[in-house]
Amino acid sequence: MRFVKDYETSREIVQDAFITLWEKRNSIDIDKPVKSYLSTTVRNKCLNYLRDHKKFNVNLLDLEGVLKDFAYEQSDRLVEAEIRVKIDDAMNELPEKCREVFLLSRTQNLKYQEIADKLEISVKTVETQMSKALQHMRIRLKEYIPAILVLIYFLFRTFK
């Protein structure tokens, strides 16, 4: 209700979240709290609904306090921790050189030429390794991309 401001729509979104949970029951880690999964799913579905129906303006949501109320709750920290573990796992699966190129690019913000110089390899090799790393990360993290985007959005809003 805080997001969509419509009782029936909010009921449909929550029902959709439970259906999604049921459909993904085989791929969900049962050791993780279902509450954080459901709250993230509901929040994402609400944001998608608002985006798709174009009934909102980010400034209006700010004025109504919707974004501030949801800014970074405890469940968000649990989801963030779970996503960080998944990202670390996906990175650890990369071959050593591929992981090294990926980390230099993403953590130190080095350009491909700088990475090539530092590792004494060609720029083409850097491009190839980055392509492999990004493809691997996309595949391994595809189910978390909506949650990652929401977390990034709220983290950047927090630091403004």
Global pTM value: 0.47
Domain span at 55: 1-70
pLDDT by 10s per residue, the chain, length 160: 777 877 888 888 888 888 887 887 787 777 777 777 788 888 888 887 877 776 444 544 444 444 444 444 555 666 677 778 888 898 899 999 999 999 998 888 889 999 999 999 999 999 999 999 989 988 887 877 776 666 666 655 555 4
Is there a single domain that holds both residue 2 and residue 47? Answer: yes
Is there a single domain that holds both residue 88 and residue 10? Answer: no
CATH label of the domain that carries residue 105 = 1.10.10.10
Is there a single domain that holds both residue 6 and residue 43? Answer: yes
Domain count, the chain: 2
Is there a single domain that holds both residue 117 and residue 152? Answer: yes
Is there a single domain that holds both residue 111 and residue 66? Answer: no
Is there a single domain that holds both residue 157 and residue 87? Answer: yes
Angle between helices 123-141 and 96-107 (to 10 degrees): 90
Residue position matching structure tokens 């469940």 = 75
